[in-house]
Amino acid sequence: MDIFDFSDGREGYYGEYGGVFLPEILHATIEELLACFRECKADPKFWQDYVALLQNYSGRPTPITHLENLSRKLGGAQIYVKRDDLNHTGSHKINNVMGQGLLCQRLGKRRVIAETGAGQHGFATATMAAKFGFDCKIYMGAVDVARQRPNVFWMENLGAEVIAVEDGQKTLKDAVNECMRDWVTNMADTHYILGTACGPHPFPEMVSWFQSIIGMEAREQILKQAGRLPDRVYACVGGGSNAMGIFQGFFDDDNVELIGCEAGGHGVGSYMHSARLAYDDASVGVAQGYKTYFLQNNEGNMNKTHSVAAGLDYIGINPIFAHLWEQGKVRFEAATDTEVKEALTLTMRTEGLIPALESTHAFVTAIKEAPSMGKDEIILINQSGRGDKDIFTIADALDDSKWKTFIAGKADQYRSENK
Amino acid sequence: MGLQTYIAERKKDKDLLVMAHVVCGYPSFEDNMQELEIMAEAGVDLVELQFPFSEPSADGPLFVRANEASLKSGTTIDQCFEFMYQASQRFPFKILMMGYYNTAFKMGEEVFVKRIKEAGGVGYILPDLPVEEFANLHHLSEQEGIEPILLMTPTSTDRRLAKLGAASRGMVYVVARKGVTGSKTTMGDEVLSLIARCRQHTKLPIGVGFGVSCKADMDFLRGTADLAIVGTAALKTWESSGAEGLKVFFAELMA
C-alpha cells in the first residue's frame, strides 16, 4: 500500500482529506518546498545521509524493549516497546527535524521557524538549528510556555528565540497560526519546520516520510526479538507523526492491527479533550492549511481542546489518518487524563520506564486490551518520548508533597537572592 | 450590475475608489453600524465585512484580536448575514463578505453563496481558498451572480498571475507586500511594478491593500490602482479615537 502515490487521485489528498489551503502569497514557497522534497525523496543518497546523521547524532536505531514484568502482571499479550524516547532530545521529534534540516540546507535557507506544543518539537528544532548553524525562532502558546518551562529553558540556551503566543487559546494551534504569519512575511530566507504530519501538502507526506524510520526499524527488530510480527501496534496521536512513523512499518501486514490513541482529557461528553476520531465531537473542516476532522462548532470555529499532555492538545488530526480511519485501516481509542496518570505510575513501578504523558496514552489502551489477549500474542507500543520533561505536571498529578516542598524552597531561595 | 461595471461607474467621478473593512461584531454590531455610517458619508465605495473566524492565520495582530473578541462576545454567522442585509439596504456602497474558507465550507458552498446574495452582498474574499480548490464554489457563484475576489501577490510568478487573472471576477485584490494585514508598506517602485505586472494579466479593476493607511498612500496609488483598500488603519483609529477620530481619518484620507 502506497498512500503517497497520487497518480490515481489528487496530489496531496488522502481520500477527501489533506490538500493545500494557504494564502496565495505562500503558493510559490510551497511549490518550491514540494519540488525540493520530491528531489530528496527520489535521491537514495539523501536518505542515506539522513539515516547516518540520526545514527551518529541521535542514537538510532533505538531499541525495542520486552516488558516482561508488565506482561506477566497483566496476564495477557507480550508487550514490547519501541524506545524512541531514547533519541537525543528525548523524543521522536528529532527524526523529522533532522530530515527537514537537511532539506533546508538544500533549499539554501538560513532561518528556521517552528511551532511547538509540549516543547519537544521546539527543543529538537533548536538543537538542529544549533548544529546546522541556522537562525531559529520557536512559537509556543503562552499556556504551554507556562507549563513546559524546562523545554523553553533548553530552547533558549540552545540559542533559539522563543515567542510566547498570546492569541486564541494560547496553545499549539495558535502557535501554528503565528508560524504561518511569520512565514508569509519571511519565506524568502525561512523554512517552516512543521512538527507533525498535519498542515498543507507536502508536510503530512514529508513528516511521515522522515518518521517512517521508526516503523522500518521496529518491524525488523520485532521479527528478530519476538520471532514474528506483532498482533497490535499502539501509538499516541496528537497530530499523528509518531503514529504514522511506526504504523508505516506495518501497512502491508494485513494481520497487524494499528491503534491510534488520542487524548480523552476529561472524557466523553466533557468537551475538554482532544479526541477527534475516538469520540463523536469532531467534524470535517478546513483550517491551518488542510482539510481534516477538527474539533469545531457548527459554524466552523474551533472548540477549546484539552489534554494533560500538551503535545496531544490539538484541534485536528492528520489527513492521512482521517482517511485510514474511514477505510478501517486504523482503529482509534482515547485515554483520559486520569487513566494516563494511573498507567504512568504502573509503568514506572513495574518496568522502570518513564514514558512521556503523550506516549502514556498508548500505554493506557494497550494495558486495557492486553489482558484479554492470548499469552502468545504480541503488542508493540511506540514510546515516542520520555516523561522526565513532564516532572512538574506529573508531580502535580501525583500530588507529591516532597516535590512541592522542594519547589517552595527553591522559590524562597530565588526570592531572597533578588532582594 | 457587476462589480466591474459598478467600479467603472464610480470612477467616472473620482480617480481612486476606496474599499474599507470592518470585523463583524467588533467591538459590537452597533459600533460597526456607526463605522459604516461614517464610511458612507465619506464616500467609501466598497466595504468588506469580515466574518470572524477562530484561526485567522492571514491576519495581523489587530484583526486577530478583533476576530477573537467578536467570537468571544458570541457573534454568529446569522448575525453577520443579518448585519450585511441591513447595511446593504441602507448604504450606497457595495458589500463583500470577507473571511476564511471554513465558514463557507461548514455551511455548504451552495448555502454560502445564496446567503450572500440574499443579504445583498455582491461578492466575497476567502484568502485561504486557493484557485486549485475553488472550482465548485466559483461555479455556484457564477450561477447566482456573486463574484469571488482573488488575490495577486508579490510572490506570484507571471504564469501564476495568468492563472489567477483568468479565474478572476469583478476586481482583483493586489497584496502590496509580503506578510499579514496591518504592517506599514513602503509605497515605492516595487508596488508600481507589481501593479503593472498584474495589469498584464487582467482587465479587471485593481484594488491595492495591505498597509494602506494615509493620504500619502492614496496619492501614491492614484492613477495606478483603481481602489485603495484600507483595513487596519481605520480600526486602529476607531479604537484610539472613536467616531470623531474615524470621521477625521476618512476625511483626510479621501480629501
Task: Say what the alpha-carbon torsion angle A93, A94, A95, A98 is, to the nearest 10 degrees.
Answer: 130
Residue A160's pLDDT is 98
Shared-domain flag, residues A256 and A348? yes
Q: Where are the domains of chain B?
A: 16-253
Residue B181's pLDDT is 76
**Catalytic status, residue B48:** yes
Of A169, A203, A237, which marks where a domain is finished?
Answer: A203
Q: Which amino acid is at A71?
A: S
All three cell numbers of A311: 503535545
Task: Give a yes or no: residue A124 inside a domain.
Answer: yes
- pLDDT tens profile A246-257: 999 999 999 999
Considering only CB atoms, which chain A residues are within 8 Å of B153? 23-25, 27
- pLDDT tens profile B67-117: 999 999 999 999 999 999 999 999 999 999 999 999 999 999 999 999 999
Shared-domain flag, residues A275 and A146? no
Considering only CB atoms, which chain B residues are within 8 Å of A163? none
Residue B183's pLDDT is 75
Considering only CB atoms, which chain B residues are within 8 Å of A185? 178-180
Give the CA distances from residue A312 to residues A179, A197, A240, A265, in Å, rounded to whole numbers and listed in that order: 18, 13, 9, 10
Give Cα B255 to chain centroid, integer Å. 21
Catalytic residue of the set B35, B45, B59, B226: B59
Read off the pLDDT of each residue in B247-254 and give the average, rounded to a whole number: 96
Contacts of A115 (CB under 8 A, 6+ apart): A121, A122, A138, A139, A140, A172, A175, A176, A178, A179, A194, A195
Read off the pLDDT of each residue in A401-417 and give the average, rounded to a whole number: 95
User: Are A89 and A120 within 8 A, CB to CB?
Assistant: yes
Distance from CA of B36 to the nearest CA of A (A): 25
Read off the pLDDT of each residue in B210-231 and give the average, rounded to a whole number: 94
Q: 3-class secondary structure for chain B?
A: CCHHHHHHHHCCCCCCEEEEEEECCCCCHHHHHHHHHHHHHHCCCEEEEECCCCCCCCCCHHHHHHHHHHHHCCCCHHHHHHHHHHHHHHCCCEEEEECCHHHHHHHCHHHHHHHHHHCCCCEEECCCCCHHHCHHHHHHHHHHCCEECEEECCCCCHHHHHHHHHHCCCCEEEECCCCCCCCCCCCCHHHHHHHHHHHCCCCCCEEEECCCCCHHHHHHHECCECEEEECHHHHHHHHHHHHHHHHHHHHHHCC
State whether A287 and B100 contact (CB < 8 Å): yes
Considering only CB atoms, which chain A residues are within 8 Å of B155? 25-29, 187
Shared-domain flag, residues A17 and A152? yes
Q: Which domain holds residue A130?
A: 13-55+92-203
Shared-domain flag, residues A224 and A75? yes
Residue B185 has pLDDT above 80, yes or no: no
Quote the Cα angle for B77-B83-B85, to 5°.
105
- Find which of B102, B150, B168, B197 to mutate to test the A interface (most A CBs within 10 Å of its CB): B102
State whether B180 and A298 contact (CB < 8 Å): no
Distance from CA of B149 to the nearest CA of A (A): 12
User: Are B29 and B76 within 8 A, CB to CB?
Assistant: no
Residue A75's pLDDT is 98
Query: CATH no. for residue A187?
Result: 3.40.50.1100
- pLDDT tens profile B168-179: 999 999 999 888
User: Are B212 and B229 within 8 A, CB to CB?
Assistant: yes
Task: Give a yes or no: residue A410 inside a domain.
Answer: no
Residue B202 has pLDDT above 80, yes or no: yes
The ipTM value here is: 0.95
Paired sense of beta strands A13-14 and A17-18, if any:
antiparallel
Cα–Cα distance for residue pair A176/B90, rounded to 1 Å:
40
Residue B204's pLDDT is 98
Paired sense of beta strands A64-66 and A78-83, if any:
antiparallel
Residue A173 has pLDDT above 90, yes or no: no
Shared-domain flag, residues A234 and A371? yes
| DSSP code string of A327-364 | TTSEEEEEEEHHHHHHHHHHHHHHH---B-HHHHHHHH
The radius of gyration of chain A's CA atoms, rounded to the nearest angstrom, is: 20
pLDDT band, residue B44 (cuts 50/70/90): very high
All three cell numbers of B223: 492613477
Residue B57 has pLDDT above 90, yes or no: no
Q: Which residues of A form the catalytic set?
A: 93, 115, 384
Of A203, A237, A269, which marks where a domain is finished?
Answer: A203
User: Are A285 and A205 within 8 A, CB to CB?
Assistant: no
User: Are A320 and A208 within 8 A, CB to CB?
Assistant: yes
3-state secondary structure of A296: strand
- pLDDT tens profile B119-141: 999 999 999 999 999 999 999 99
Give me the CATH code for the B16-253 domain, please.
3.20.20.70
Shared-domain flag, residues A66 and A118? no
Total domains, chain A = 2
Considering only CB atoms, which chain B residues are within 8 Å of A300? 53, 102-103, 105-107
Strand partners, A18: A13, A291
Distance from CA of B73 to the nearest CA of A (A): 14
Shared-domain flag, residues A75 and A134? no
Task: Give a yes or no: residue A2 inside a domain.
Answer: no
Residue A124 has pLDDT above 80, yes or no: yes
Task: Give a yes or no: residue A415 inside a domain.
Answer: no
Task: Give a yes or no: residue A250 inside a domain.
Answer: yes
- pLDDT tens profile B60-81: 889 999 999 999 999 999 999 9
Give the CA distances from residue B98 to residues A142, B45, B171, in Å, rounded to whole numbers and listed in that order: 29, 16, 14
Cα–Cα distance for residue pair B217/A75, rounded to 1 Å:
75
Interface A:B, Cβ pairs < 8 A: 113
Distance from CA of B42 to the nearest CA of A (A): 31
Share of residues in chain B with pLDDT > 90 (%): 91
User: Are B228 and B19 within 8 A, CB to CB?
Assistant: yes
Shared-domain flag, residues A295 and A272? yes
